[in-house]
Structure 1
């Protein structure tokens, strides 16, 4: 299926690994020019090499820390300079530390808010004018299924990511009709983040081994498995394309049916 985004420009944050990288790969495969972002030059180089194997558009790495306002401004400016504009913004960020509420201090809360919410706020401020130009564009925020159902030992993700959804829904009306804004809510996928969470669970005694933790995460899913990151990336690419032109202001679970919420 041709998603009709060949020659478009996309910026995907936190895309040197995980679901961000999968989203960048899906967009690049469809012919979009993609800016890949991360904090490590080495990881960025590895990601670009991997994405270029399937890309039919150009792939450019830009190092930036999403918690640094100056870096965020420079990231968007570098994208516009490289390709002359910006059509699609995909926001992703690393997850905050796991742990229960009583083990979480004020510093943890402020850091999680800065990483998850303020990064999106700053990116949209810097990008909105570019996204609205030349016929309009799209914003897709990658959050978590935790905004639908709280996940044990992930109090920061459960609470703080709700702010991203409230922002996305508000922007879907304030930036319309030029810019469509949607969110995807990943369930467990085979990413470094999931490996870290399982390893932390082993350390806390929740699992006897990494393999047991991995099996436990897949066993409760109706599809009986952990997701492939490209399955989420493909959805992000679709939501960024004209083929999803009447989808706006929604939050789409990508979890294999794991959630029990009706909405």
Structure 2
């Protein structure tokens, strides 16, 4: 299938590692003109070099902290500059700190909001003039399976990731007249450093081995295993492509059937 991404300008946030990196690589495979951003410039440069070696695409890199509004404004405007424009925006950010309601102070709630929800709002706000001027556009917001089923010990993510999809649903109506489709893609247990970090913490809290905890978790997934970042990324790229012409305002769980809710 032709995703009609060749030559399209794509911006992927938090793309130096994990799911963002996998998404960027898949867009490069489709021949997109790629801009990737992250707080860690060294990791970002390594990702750029990997993408170049694997696909031949020379991605542009921009240092950006999603907690800094000026960074976001600069990154989007730089990506869209020099006559390049912007056709696709993929919003993404590292997950907020883990913990339960009783663990969180006001500062934790504020930071969780800024990291998980406000960063998405700001990225979209800055990108919209360029997406509108292109005549059509695609936005994909990366979230979490917690938008459908809260995850114990991740109270901040549960609250603010749900807000991300509420934003998606609201903007789908507002942006349809501009030819812009927007969707949320939500990973379940995908094999990233973030999942390993959370699993290691849970294993330590429960005084058990990481391997034992992960084996038990895999049994709760109908497909019997964690997904790979590449599997997740392929779905992001389809919904954030111009082969997608009629799906907007939706949430897609990439979770191997883990979430049972209708």
Is the contact between residue 9 and residue 83 of structure 1 (CA under 8 Å) also seen in structure 2?
Answer: no
The size of the alignment, in residue pairs, is 261
Is the contact between residue 12 and residue 36 of structure 2 (CA under 8 Å) also seen in structure 1?
Answer: yes
Where does the alignment leave 5 or more consecutive residues of structure 1 unmatched? Answer: none
Is the contact between residue 31 and residue 56 of structure 1 (CA under 8 Å) also seen in structure 2?
Answer: no
Matches for 1:26-37 after TM superposition, within 5 Å: 26-37=26-37
Aligned-CA RMSD value: 1.3
Counterpart for residue 200 of structure 1? 201
Give TM-score scaled by structure 1 length.
Answer: 0.96
Q: Does 1:246 align with 2:246?
A: yes
Distance 1:252 1:85 in 2: 27
Is the contact between residue 11 and residue 34 of structure 1 (CA under 8 Å) also seen in structure 2?
Answer: yes
Distance 1:172 1:52 in 2: 34
Counterpart for residue 112 of structure 1? 112
**Cα distance change, pair 58–33 in 1 and its aligned pair in 2 (3 A):** farther
Distance 1:86 1:189 in 2: 29
After TM superposition, the structure 1 stretch with the greater mean CA deviation from structure 2, 223-232 or 210-219, is 210-219
Q: Deviations over 1:178-231 (max 9, x none)?
A: 2100000110111010011011112212x5112122222222100000001111
Distance 1:49 1:57 in 2: 9
Counterpart for residue 15 of structure 1? 15
CA shift, 1:132, in A, is 1.4
Is the contact between residue 7 and residue 57 of structure 1 (CA under 8 Å) also seen in structure 2?
Answer: no
Give TM-score scaled by structure 2 length.
Answer: 0.96
CA shift, 1:82, in A, is 5.3
Distance 2:135 2:43 in 1: 34
Matches for 1:92-131 after TM superposition, within 5 Å: 92-131=92-131
